[in-house]
Amino acid sequence: MSEYADCHWSSRDGLRLHYRDYPGRADRPTLICLPGLTRNARDFQVLAARLAGEWRVICPDMRGRGDSAYAKDSSTYNPFQYVDDVNHLLDEAGVDRYVAIGTSLGGLMTMILAMNAPERIAGAVLNDVGPWLEPEGLKRITGYVGQGRSFPTWMHAARALEESQGIAHPGFGIVDWLDMAKRLMTLSSNGRIVFDYDMKIAEPLARSDPATQPDLWPGVENLAGKPLLLLRGALSDLLSAETFAQMAARLPGADAITVPGVGHTPLLAEPEAVAALDRLLARVGTTGGASLASFAPSFQLSRRRQGIARGATDQRLRQGRGAHDRIGPARCAGRGQRDRCAHDGILSAGFPRAGRPSHAGSPAAAGARDARFRSGADL
């Protein structure tokens, strides 16, 4: 099923944000597909079309991407703000429990969601991302994000992608690069083809230090015991084999799959990824569709803890709250009736910091940083 509704929701700071809503069974958790740094809802269109009908699939454009509005303040282009936006979306769309499918930045968001309200997560996919990202891979990404290039034809756009990202997909032909270009780019008002994101998403990334990263191991560990799929591209320069092995060791029962011949990131269309995702969803089945009413005490406790953890950052985000403080039903339009808004850093200042996996993984260090995160001391 490829039909979907174009819907919109409001962020806490008043941005009009867009998502695709593919219909599916009500007795199963919703699949929410969280894209990478420069990606958008179109990145999951093949996956969504394959799974819709059996599963409700929601594919958001994060702020500054696709059909979602640009942020006025570029500092809000950070994972914590994206998670806040997603929580508003889940509430507006009436989603109690969900399976998070997170690619790259979307996987970081999944870990943060798991730190705050793990009982809402019925299962998860972490696609070529972990709690430690290799600095060399981050440097490669910062080398092409936010350049603001434009192209006269789709063929020129495809060749530019091949030049910058060919290391990740050495088996791609020109048709594959054209497909990717049409997912990542759009036709601008002056007739040239441009990347479908706000170039200012690169600013927080440029200010971050790849050597000191947010400590997201607590989020990884909060996924333990759930149906979980860990994917790594065999050629990935962002998620090392060492970090991937540590994640698998801390998550007994997780399906850890290395996708051959692919770097950062697997497209979730490779045979190995498709088969692994089907296994994950078979484990989730109908058992994950229970209403949160059955989890009410722990859910309310988690909500209180989540509010505490936001601390000073939450107070800052509340500035300017007004009409958008009370959220109404999600606004949806049929396919083809979209009202286009303005167009589409991995790391964020203000998170607890972690060193390399061998250091960040020590129980004492992780426990101390987890406590600081939950208290809001570093947010």
Q: Is the pLDDT of residue 124 over 80?
A: yes
Fill in the DSSP letter of residue 43: G
How many CB atoms sit inside 10 A of residue 217's CB? 27
pLDDT value at position 57? 98
| Residue 186 falls inside a structural domain | no
| Residue 171 falls inside a structural domain | no
pLDDT in tens, 267-318: 999 999 999 999 999 999 855 544 444 444 444 444 444 443 444 334 434 4
| Residue 114 falls inside a structural domain | yes
pLDDT value at position 348? 42
The DSSP code sequence of 178-204 is HHHHHHHEEE-TTS-EEESB-GGGHHH
What is the percent of the chain with per-residue pLDDT over 70, rounded to a whole number?
Answer: 75
Contacts of 358 (CB under 8 A, 6+ apart): none
- Taking a C-beta distance cutoff of 8 angstroms, is the pair 35, 183 a contact? no
- Tell me how many domains the chain contains: 1
pLDDT in tens, 76-108: 999 999 999 999 999 999 999 999 999 999 999
| Residue 201 falls inside a structural domain | no
pLDDT value at position 3? 92
Residues in a beta bridge with 233: 259
Reduce the DSSP state of residue 22 to 3 states and report it. strand
Encoded amino acid at 223, one letter? L
| Residue 147 falls inside a structural domain | no
Residue 116 burial (CB < 10 Å; 0-12/13-18/19+)?
buried
For residues 53 and 17, what is the distance between their CA atoms, to the nearest angstrom?
24
pLDDT category at 2 given cuts 50, 70, 90 is: confident
pLDDT value at position 210? 87
Domain range holding 56?
A: 5-135+211-375
| Residue 301 falls inside a structural domain | yes
- Taking a C-beta distance cutoff of 8 angstroms, is the pair 255, 229 a contact? yes
The mean predicted confidence, pLDDT, of the chain is 83
| Residue 369 falls inside a structural domain | yes
| Residue 104 falls inside a structural domain | yes
For residues 253 and 274, what is the distance between their CA atoms, to the nearest angstrom?
19
CA dihedral sign of residues 331, 335, 338, 343: positive
| CATH number assigned to the domain comprising residue 355 | 3.40.50.1820
**Torsion angle of the four alpha carbons 364, 367, 368, 369, in this order, in degrees rounded to the nearest 10:** 120
- Tokens at residue 259, please? 């996708």
